């Protein structure tokens, strides 16, 4: 199956984020769909991420003053229009020819934070140029896989600094690829030249390829590499992929500015805990001293509200905006962001919260 011609309109039957998934599946090649939508092994964590948000119930308050309601908040001391960011996802041009440039325009137009993947299919300088051209843009962060050669890592960091990125997001939960059965059955192969910001592939071994396994894992990043990176950049550093309280505490002791509670969208370790389960435990472990974000399975404004209630300052979405990109290009991405903002505003008002500062854990009933 070949990809259908990309559309430039939003289908009439799309009214929420999940609606984009079936349209994306219909217009993408089977192998590409398997890569974008699949998870590791039996995909238990992939499904658990979504279910865990649904399991929490809201316990709303009524008759609260709601005048002047808004979604504004702060991240790393920076004012932002709303607490929704786009997660780093590799190779957007797999989904649509406009790729990361279309996503950048959409995110900037919706004042949404954007985290660009190291494995982007567009040079990081071109993405920042497109994104920063919008005066009301949100935060622009660069996701980083630490490379075997520290010189290569440092070159990426310096490029990001020069291009105007405001923070580094270091992915720490993927020293190896997960066993992605669905992707392997579909025989997906990343097209040659698709990842343009790296001279060599990221430092991650593949568990089903024995050659070089031990040598690659011997170079897998450790806490000492994070400490080294702190000495090499003026940018704040966030660690993405933290699920355990002890790791959160260690990052806090090291002076890391932010943590993203994530299990890589269920794409690495199957049966890992859901992010909605891990989030409140990590929030309790680090208190309010670390900027805390979460991703994984967020599909509704009520999910965003629950995440903020459980201690996150903002959320990331990944697959939904890629599905929207595949369906309707940049317009689809902007639509996803608008839908999620609108749903969050509705949920907040119906729970008696005029602002993000009004959100508290008492609004949740434990599953």
pLDDT confidence of residue 325: 98
DSSP-assigned beta bridge partners for residue 365:
57
Would you say 56 and 364 are in contact if contact means Cβ atoms under 8 Å apart? Answer: yes
Helix 30-37 vs helix 19-27: crossing angle, to nearest 10: 150
Would you say 78 and 137 are in contact if contact means Cβ atoms under 8 Å apart? Answer: no
pLDDT confidence of residue 2: 42
pLDDT in tens, the chain (367 residues): 344 545 569 999 999 999 999 999 999 999 999 999 999 999 999 999 999 999 999 999 999 999 999 999 999 999 999 999 999 999 999 999 999 999 999 999 999 999 999 999 999 999 999 999 999 999 999 999 999 899 999 999 999 999 999 999 999 999 988 999 999 999 999 999 898 998 765 545 454 555 555 666 777 899 999 999 999 999 999 999 999 999 999 999 999 999 999 999 999 999 999 999 999 999 999 998 999 999 999 999 999 999 999 999 999 999 999 999 999 999 999 999 999 999 999 999 999 999 999 999 999 998 7
Please state whether beta strands 167-171 and 176-177 pair in parallel, antiparallel, or not at all (unpaired): unpaired
pLDDT confidence of residue 1: 37
pLDDT confidence of residue 212: 54
| DSSP per-residue letters across 281-292 | HHHHHHTTSSEE
358/101 Cα distance (integer angstroms): 35
The arrangement of secondary structure in 19-57+73-350, i.e. its CATH architecture, is Alpha-Beta Barrel (3.20)
The helix or strand, by DSSP H or E, that contains position 230, with its residue range, turns out to be: helix 223-230
Catalytic site includes residue 335:
no
pLDDT confidence of residue 202: 54
pLDDT confidence of residue 169: 98
260/282 Cα distance (integer angstroms): 10
pLDDT confidence of residue 213: 57
* Per-residue pLDDT tens digits for 21-75: 999 999 999 999 999 999 999 999 999 999 999 999 999 999 999 999 999 999 9
Question: Of 23, 137, 177, 264, which is the active-site residue?
Answer: 264
92/88 Cα distance (integer angstroms): 10
pLDDT confidence of residue 176: 87
244/253 Cα distance (integer angstroms): 15
320/337 Cα distance (integer angstroms): 10
DSSP 8-state code for residue 95: T
| CA nearest neighbour of 263 among 17, 48, 114, 18 | 48
170/182 Cα distance (integer angstroms): 26
């Amino acid at each position: 199956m070949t990809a259908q011609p990309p559309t430039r309109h939003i289908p009439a039957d799309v009214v929420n984020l999940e609606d984009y998934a079936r349209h994306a599946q219909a217009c993408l090649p089977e192998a590409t769909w398997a890569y974008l939508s699949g998870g590791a092994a039996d995909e238990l964590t992939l499904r658990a991420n979504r279910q865990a948000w649904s399991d929490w119930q809201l316990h709303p308050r009524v008759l609260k003053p709601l005048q002047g309601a808004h979604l504004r908040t702060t991240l790393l001391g920076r004012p932002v229009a709303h607490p929704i960011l786009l997660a780093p996802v590799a190779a957007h041009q797999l989904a649509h020819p406009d790729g990361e440039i279309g996503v950048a325009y959409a995110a900037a137009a919706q004042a949404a934070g954007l985290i660009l993947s190291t494995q982007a299919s567009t040079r990081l300088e071109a993405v920042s140029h497109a994104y920063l051209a919008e005066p009301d843009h949100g935060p622009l962060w660069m996701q980083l896989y630490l490379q075997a050669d520290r010189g290569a890592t440092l070159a990426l960091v310096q490029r990001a600094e020069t291009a105007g990125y405001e923070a580094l997001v270091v992915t720490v939960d993927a020293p190896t690829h997960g066993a992605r059965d669905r992707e392997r059955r579909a025989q997906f192969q990343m097209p040659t030249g698709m990842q343009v910001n790296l001279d060599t592939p990221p430092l991650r071994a593949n568990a089903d390829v024995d050659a070089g396994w031990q040598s690659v894992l011997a170079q897998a990043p450790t806490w000492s590499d994070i400490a080294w990176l702190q000495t090499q950049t003026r940018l704040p550093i966030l660690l993405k992929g933290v699920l355990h309280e002890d790791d959160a505490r260690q990052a806090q002791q090291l002076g890391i500015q932010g943590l993203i509670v994530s299990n890589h969208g269920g794409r690495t370790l199957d049966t890992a805990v859901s992010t909605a389960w891990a989030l409140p435990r990590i929030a309790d472990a680090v208190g309010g001293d670390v900027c805390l974000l979460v991703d994984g399975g967020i599909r509704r404004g009520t999910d965003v509200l629950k995440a903020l209630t459980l201690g996150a300052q903002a959320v990331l979405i990944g697959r939904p905006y890629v599905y929207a990109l595949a369906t309707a290009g940049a317009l689809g991405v902007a639509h996803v962001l608008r839908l999620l903002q609108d749903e969050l505003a509705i949920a907040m008002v119906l729970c008696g919260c005029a602002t993000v500062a009004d959100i508290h854990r008492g609004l949740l009933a434990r599953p």
